[in-house]
Amino acid sequence: MSRLVRVGEVARELGVTPARLRQLADSGVVPSERSPGGHRVFDPGAVRSALARRSSSDFTQPRWTEPTWERLLPLAGLQEDAVWRDVVVDVLQDRLSPEGRSTAGYAFTEMLNNAIDHSGAADVRVAVWASRLEIRFEVSDDGRGALHHLQQRLGLEDAYDALGELTKGKTTTDPEHHSGEGIFFTSKAVDVFTLESAGLRWTVDNVRQDQAVGASDIDVGTRVRWEMDPATTTPIADVFGAYTDEDHQFSRTRTVVRLFGIGVRFVSRSEAKRLMRGLDRFKEVTLDFTGVEEVGQGFVDEVLRVWPRKHEGTLVTPVGMTGPVEFMVRRGLPSAAQPSGTGDA
């Protein structure tokens, strides 16, 4: 948890009156706590996470208007690090902790580089919202669109399929010049990350450790937004460390099963194949079953027996299972590879 702040400060940040904020807190829309003295206090990270889940409501929409800093930049010859230096000088300056500066710089340059190298658009819109409690960024273009681009270049079925591939990491359309790391690591390094393209919105909420796919009104091009704590003390090296090995290779991933189906039941072998496709590019794959309510025998057999047998260089570890799912998974696992429990491995 980060620092706790009082009603007035959060209300100012959200552009509502303190009375309205108390109302929102009472109704549970905005999470809050009581200080030892009985005052209502807020954890800015938890507030960000709650608002991200309501990203299209009347109440949260105004957060994304009137940026502190905004530019429409021609992409020809644009250099992401030069734009980042301008953002730092113009708006961020001493707002960031050293760790916040590394994380923000990494995310910004990676997302702007994607627009430069992959979008095929004429220009890019960059916007920053900066306050004492949070910084928010947006990079958007009206180019070919990340999901359509991946779908076409990798020969995938549809944009939804492309999104599944993107969530795995090491997914790139240009392996000669790129390694498919930018979106994966950026999405894990900030508090809340969203990528919108082809009518889909992918949200990675690192405050609640949750991911979701929903609808978006962005059909053309790509819009990426992310939010973070400017005073964060988490070094970005910790984020890389969680997914790299001793040789600093990106050799581990964590794949959220729920993102690969419609609903909470995973029954068929073909769903399993879609989930596992290409994961042999990692040495260790953690499969997160959180939120999955039912799995079928064919699905489990493909994921935990057939696939690992064919790909002996990859260790597959299921986590986050409950009730009937855990039962089916335990039943389907070869006896040497029993999961370590329902929590994180």
Ligand X SMILES: Nc1ncnc2c1ncn2[C@@H]1O[C@H](COP(=O)(O)OP(=O)(O)OP(=O)(O)O)[C@@H](O)[C@H]1O
Binding residues for ligand X, rule: CB under 6 A, are 110, 114-115, 118-119, 141, 143-146, 149-150, 171-174, 178-184, 222
Q: In the numeric block, which tokens belong to residue 80?
A: 């992401």
State the minimum distance, in angstroms, from the CB of residue 173 to Mg ion.
10
Locus of tokens 């194949």: 273
Whole-number CA gyration radius for the chain: 21
Phi, psi of 287, deg, nearest 5: -100, 115
Whose Cβ is closer to ligand X: residue 140's or residue 314's?
A: 140
Q: Which does 202 bind (CB under 5 to 8 A by kind): Mg ion, ligand X, none?
A: none
State the minimum distance, in angstroms, from the CB of residue 113 to ligand X.
7
Q: Which residue is nearest to Mg ion (CB)?
A: 182
The residue from 32, 49, 109, 114 that contacts Mg ion (CB under 5 A) is 114
State the minimum distance, in angstroms, from the CB of residue 224 to Mg ion.
11
State the minimum distance, in angstroms, from the CB of residue 24 to Mg ion.
37
Whose Cβ is closer to Mg ion: residue 114's or residue 197's?
A: 114
State the minimum distance, in angstroms, from the CB of residue 334 to ligand X.
33
Whose Cβ is closer to ligand X: residue 116's or residue 303's?
A: 116
The residue from 145, 164, 169, 182 that contacts Mg ion (CB under 5 A) is 182
Q: Does 44 bind Mg ion (CB under 5 A)?
A: no
State the minimum distance, in angstroms, from the CB of residue 121 to ligand X.
7
CA count, 13 A, side-chain hemisphere, 252 = 15
Distance from C-alpha of 219 to C-alpha of 174, rounded to nearest angstrom = 23
Helix, strand or coil for residue 262? coil
Taking a C-beta distance cutoff of 8 angstroms, is the pair 260, 164 a contact?
yes
Burial 142-166 (b: 16+ CB within 10 A, else e): bbbbbbbbbbeeeebeebbbbbbbb
Q: Does 221 bind Mg ion (CB under 5 A)?
A: no
Strands 222-228 and 135-141: antiparallel
Whose Cβ is closer to ligand X: residue 141's or residue 205's?
A: 141
List the Cα angle 332/333/336 in 5-degree steps. Answer: 155
Give me the residues that bind Mg ion (CB under 5 A), please: 114, 182
